[in-house]
Structure 1
Amino acid sequence: MNGVAFRLKNEFCSRQFAGFLVVGGSAAILNFFCRVFLSGYLSYAAAIVVAYLIAMVFAFVLGKCFVFQSRRSSRTAREFINFGLVNGLAVLQTLGISLLLAYVVLPYCGVSSHGEEIAHAVGIMVPAFTSYVGHKHFTFK
């Protein structure tokens, strides 16, 4: 196995990554249902961003407690700022993919029912890998 493949295997075939997926999956479910609720009051794009922020706080607390188990509580403020930076990139990924799918790809493919929900669900899933790497090596290093 070459060096890159070995590093990828170690990065993503771990108990820590599995825990990250459970926490991230829980946050994604919260994100999705918050967005559906908020869409009754906000535009689609604004609802995506606000729901993402709500889920981000939820994910930070669970991630810090159960996935990246920081030993120093004095670093919490710095970790939260770093968490926000990593998630800032992730929300851009989520928003871009959700908008592209909802308003370009799915209509082009003839999908007319639940397009925003499908697009948002896919948009939430995409940053799982990039966020994990960012949080492991930057936020909670």
Structure 2
Amino acid sequence: MTQVEKSKIFNAKDLIAYFLVAGTGAVIQLVSSSLIQDWFDISWSDSIVPSYLVGLVWGFILTKLFAFDARRSNQTRREMVKFFMVATFSLFVTKLGADGSYYIVTHYLGYDIYEAKLPFGKKEVNITEMVCYIFGQGCSFVSNYILHKTFTFKSTGFYNRLKVLIR
């Protein structure tokens, strides 16, 4: 990849906008994960997929409107299909990053599970799980940014070929 191609992918404006949008999505995921754990009495690992799906809807809207300046592209359906494909891949990256790092931290590195109460809250938060979840989200951030920039919100001809295959 040449320097010109790299600068097109990693330009500061898009990267900052995407970071803010993805950060909002990450907060939505963390909050919904906590609520899902409480409501359905499931583990943090089991809450990753449903909380990711909650963040997915908000992620598409925010990414389309703010991150890659695609609000007037008139290709929303095409972008939704591509976004969902990237998001499906990203879900596996998030889950693998979170579960894998948790396993490595607790089994191979031998770190204990740390819990702390949130200020003004009653719930204890497992800090080890949260840090590992954020690590998984960070891995997902990198792959998402590159794929959305070069695939989802760019006309690649993929969607047209996919429509022909489906029909």
**Per the shorter chain, which TM-score range?**
0.7 to 0.9
- Work out the number of aligned pairs and report it: 137
- Tell me how far apart the structure 1 counterparts of residues 6 and 128 of structure 2 sit (CA, whole Å): 33
TM-score, normalised relative to structure 1: 0.86
Which residue of the other structure, out of 130, 137, 143, is the alignment partner of 1:124?
137
Q: Structure 2 stretches of 5 or more lacking a match? A: 115-126, 155-167
2:58 equivalent to 1:45: no
User: 1:24 corresponds to which letter in structure 2?
Assistant: A
Structure number with higher relative contact order (C-alpha < 8 Å, ≥ 6 residues apart)? 1
For residues 44-89 of structure 1, the C-alpha deviation after alignment (integer angstroms, 9 at most, x for no partner) is 333101111111111110111112232233x212211110110111
- Tell me how far apart the structure 2 counterparts of residues 137 and 124 of structure 1 sit (CA, whole Å): 20
User: 2:94 corresponds to which letter in structure 1?
Assistant: T
- Tell me how far apart the structure 1 counterparts of residues 153 and 135 of structure 2 sit (CA, whole Å): 26
- Tell me how far apart the structure 2 counterparts of residues 119 and 38 of structure 1 sit (CA, whole Å): 18
* Structure-2 change in CA distance of 1:7 and 1:92 (3 Å): same
Q: CA deviation at 1:33?
A: 1.5
Give 2:146's aligned residue: 133
TM-score, normalised relative to structure 2: 0.74
1:26-45 residue pairs with structure 2 within 5 A? 26-40=24-38, 41=40, 42-45=42-45
1:1-141 residue pairs with structure 2 within 5 A? 4-40=2-38, 41=40, 42-70=42-70, 71-73=72-74, 75-102=75-102, 104-107=103-106, 108-109=108-109, 110-113=111-114, 114-141=127-154
Is contact 1:106–1:112 with CA below 8 Å preserved after alignment?
Answer: no
Is contact 2:36–2:47 with CA below 8 Å preserved after alignment?
Answer: yes
For residues 83-141 of structure 1, the C-alpha deviation after alignment (integer angstroms, 9 at most, x for no partner) is 01101111101101111122x21213213212211110111111212111211121111
More off after superposition, 92-101 vs 107-116 = 107-116
Larger Rg: 2
Q: CA RMSD in A?
A: 1.7
Is contact 2:9–2:150 with CA below 8 Å preserved after alignment?
Answer: no
The structure with the greater share of residues assigned to helix is 1
- Tell me how far apart the structure 1 counterparts of residues 112 and 43 of structure 2 sit (CA, whole Å): 20
Report % sequence identity.
Answer: 23
Q: Structure 1 stretches of 5 or more lacking a match? A: none
